[in-house]
Chains A and B, each alone.
Chain A
Amino acid sequence: MSDLSKLTIAKARDGLTKGDFTSVELTESCLAAMTANKGLNAFITETPEIALERAKQSDARRAAGTVASGMDGVPIAVKDLFCTEGVLTTAASHILDGYTPVYESTVSAKLKTDGAVMLGKANLDEFAMGSANVTSYYGNVVNPWKGKDGKDLVPGGSSGGSAAAVAGDLCLAATGTDTGGSIRQPASFCGIVGLKPTYGRCSRWGIIAFASSLDQAGPMTKTVRDAAIMLQSMAGHDPKDSTSAPHALPNFEDALKGDVKGLKVGIPKEYRVDGMPSEIEALWKKGANWLKDAGAEIVDISLPHTKYALPVYYIVAPAEASANLARYDGVRYGLRVDGQSIDEMYMNTRGEGFGKEVQRRVMIGTYVLSAGYYDAYYRKAQQIRTLIAKDFTDAYQKVDVILTPTAPSAAFAIGENQNDPLAMYLNDVFTVPASLAGIPGMSIPAGLSENGLPLGLQLLGKSFDEETVLRAAGVMEQAAAFTAKPGQ
Chain B
Amino acid sequence: MSYIIQGETCDWEVVIGLEVHCQVTSKSKLFSGGSASFGGAPNDHVDLLDAGLPGMLPVVNAHCVEQAVRTGLGLKAQINKRSVFSRKNYFYADMPLGYQISQYDQPIVGEGTILLELEGGKTKEVGIERLHLEADAGKSMHDQHPTKTFVDLNRAGVALMEIVSKPDMRTPEEAGAYLRKLRSIVRYLETCDGNMDEGSMRCDANVSVRPVGSDELRTRCEIKNVNSVRFVMQAIEYEAQRHVELYDEGEEPIQETRLFDSNAGTTRSMRSKEHAHDYRYFPEPDLLPLDLTDEYIQNIQASLPELPDERRERYVNDFGLSSIDAGVLVAEKENAAYFEAVAKGRDPKLAANWVTTNLFGALKKIGKPISESPVSAEDLGKLLDLISNDTISGRIAKDVFEEMVENGGDPEKIVEEKGLKQITDTGAIEGIVDDIIAKNPDQVAQFKGGNEKIIGWFVGQVMKMSQGKANPGMVNKLLKDKLSD
Chain A contacts to B: CB under 8 angstroms: 82-83, 89, 91, 96, 99, 101-103, 105, 204-209, 211-213, 239-243, 319-320, 322-323, 325-327, 329, 331-333, 342-343, 346, 366, 369-371, 374, 378
- Is residue B286 within 8 Å, beta carbon to beta carbon, of the partner chain? yes
- Is residue B59 within 8 Å, beta carbon to beta carbon, of the partner chain? yes
Which of B48-56, B238-246, B403-411, B450-458 is the interface stretch?
B48-56
Contact status B59-A366, CB under 8 Å: no
Report chain A residues within 8 Å CB of B98. Answer: 323, 325-327, 329
CA distance A99 to B48 in the complex (A): 14
- Is residue B350 within 8 Å, beta carbon to beta carbon, of the partner chain? no
**What is the predominant secondary structure among interface residues of chain A facing chain B?**
loop
Report chain A residues within 8 Å CB of B59. Answer: 239-240, 242
In the complex, per-residue mask of B351-382: 1 if CB is within 8 Å of any chain A CB, else 0: 00000000000000000000000000000000
Closest to A371 in B: B278
Q: Provide a sorted-by-A list of 6 A–B residue pairs whose CB atoms are within 8 angstroms.
A: A240-B59, A243-B285, A243-B287, A323-B99, A332-B52, A370-B278
Contact status B57-A327, CB under 8 Å: no
CA distance A205 to B51 in the complex (A): 15
Report chain A residues within 8 Å CB of B281. Answer: 369
Residue of A243, A342, A346, A366 near B286 (CB, 8 A) is A243
A182 vs chain B, min Cβ distance (A):
16
CA distance A49 to B217 in the complex (A): 70
Report chain A residues within 8 Å CB of B97. Answer: 326-327
Residue of B51, B53, B54, B96 near A91 (CB, 8 A) is B54
CA distance A396 to B201 in the complex (A): 53
Report chain B residues within 8 Å CB of A369. Answer: 89, 280-282
A461 vs chain B, min Cβ distance (A):
23
Report chain B residues within 8 Å CB of A103. Answer: 48, 53
A413 vs chain B, min Cβ distance (A):
33
- Is residue B87 within 8 Å, beta carbon to beta carbon, of the partner chain? yes
Residue of A102, A105, A205, A320 near B285 (CB, 8 A) is A320
Contact status A326-B151, CB under 8 Å: no
B229 vs chain A, min Cβ distance (A):
33
- Is residue B58 within 8 Å, beta carbon to beta carbon, of the partner chain? yes
In the complex, per-residue mask of B215-230: 1 if CB is within 8 Å of any chain A CB, else 0: 0000000000000000
Q: A91-B54, A332-B52, A369-B280 are in contact. List 7 more A-B contacts (CB 8 A).
A: A82-B55, A208-B54, A240-B57, A242-B287, A323-B98, A329-B98, A371-B280
The interface centre, meaning the residue of B48, B51, B53 with most chain A CB atoms within 10 A of its CB, is B53
CA distance A208 to B53 in the complex (A): 9
- Is residue B149 within 8 Å, beta carbon to beta carbon, of the partner chain? yes
Contact status A83-B91, CB under 8 Å: no
- Please count how many residues in chain B sit with their CB below 8 Å of the partner chain's CB atoms: 29
- Is residue B288 within 8 Å, beta carbon to beta carbon, of the partner chain? yes
Report chain B residues within 8 Å CB of A342. Answer: 93, 149
- Is residue B212 within 8 Å, beta carbon to beta carbon, of the partner chain? no
Contact status B278-A346, CB under 8 Å: no
Contact status B151-A331, CB under 8 Å: yes
Interface members, chain B 279-323 (any A CB < 8 Å):
280-282, 285-288
Contact status A205-B52, CB under 8 Å: no
CA distance A333 to B153 in the complex (A): 14
The interface centre, meaning the residue of B55, B60, B87, B91 with most chain A CB atoms within 10 A of its CB, is B55
Report chain B residues within 8 Å CB of A83. Answer: 54-55
Closest to A209 in B: B55
Report chain B residues within 8 Å CB of A204. Answer: 55, 57
Contact status A205-B54, CB under 8 Å: no
Closest to B89 in A: A323
Report chain A residues within 8 Å CB of B58. Answer: 242
Report chain A residues within 8 Å CB of B54. Answer: 83, 89, 91, 96, 99, 101, 208-209, 327
CA distance A89 to B55 in the complex (A): 11
Closest to A367 in B: B280
Contact status B53-A326, CB under 8 Å: no
A178 vs chain B, min Cβ distance (A):
16
Closest to A330 in B: B93
Report chain B residues within 8 Å CB of A209. Answer: 54-55, 286
Report chain A residues within 8 Å CB of B288. Answer: 242-243
A245 vs chain B, min Cβ distance (A):
11
B328 vs chain A, min Cβ distance (A):
46
Interface members, chain B 76-97 (any A CB < 8 Å):
87, 89, 91, 93, 96-97
Contact status B55-A366, CB under 8 Å: no
